[in-house]
């Protein structure tokens, strides 16, 4: 839980820096209002996701997630070997 909370200011700061850089660059073609709305929406959904995962971790174990991650890793390795 503590690591999730520690990441919030870092992610927010990096996002704010990106927003400031994008709003200063006139050649990107993205309206400033759209950038600000996207930043706020991603921040709100990020906080919601952290809250959801903290509740999920308290109620359930990581076994299902571990199995999912192992299957995904094996799939990616096989895919990489077949397409190389």
pLDDT in tens, 27-66: 667 777 887 888 889 889 999 998 998 888 888 888 888 8
Q: Do residues 30 and 22 lie in contact, with contact meaning Cβ atoms separated by under 8 Å?
A: yes
- Average pLDDT, integer, range 6-21: 84
Tell me the average pLDDT across 55-78: 90
* Alpha-carbon separation of residue 9 from 32, 37, 39, 58, 61 (angstroms): 22, 19, 14, 23, 27
Question: In terms of Cα–Cα distance, which of 34, 13, 12, 10 is closest to 23?
Answer: 34
Question: pTM here?
Answer: 0.49
Average pLDDT across the chain, whole number: 85
**pLDDT exceeding 90 applies to what percent of the chain?**
27
């Amino acid at each position: 839980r503590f690591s999730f909370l520690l990441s919030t200011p870092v992610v927010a700061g990096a996002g704010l820096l990106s927003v400031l850089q994008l709003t200063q660059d006139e050649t990107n073609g993205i309206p400033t209002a759209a950038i600000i709305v996207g930043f706020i929406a991603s921040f709100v959904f990020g906080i919601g996701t952290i809250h959801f995962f903290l509740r999920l971790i308290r109620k359930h174990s990581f076994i299902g997630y571990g199995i999912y991650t192992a299957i995904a890793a094996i799939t990616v390795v096989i895919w990489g070997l077949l397409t190389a």
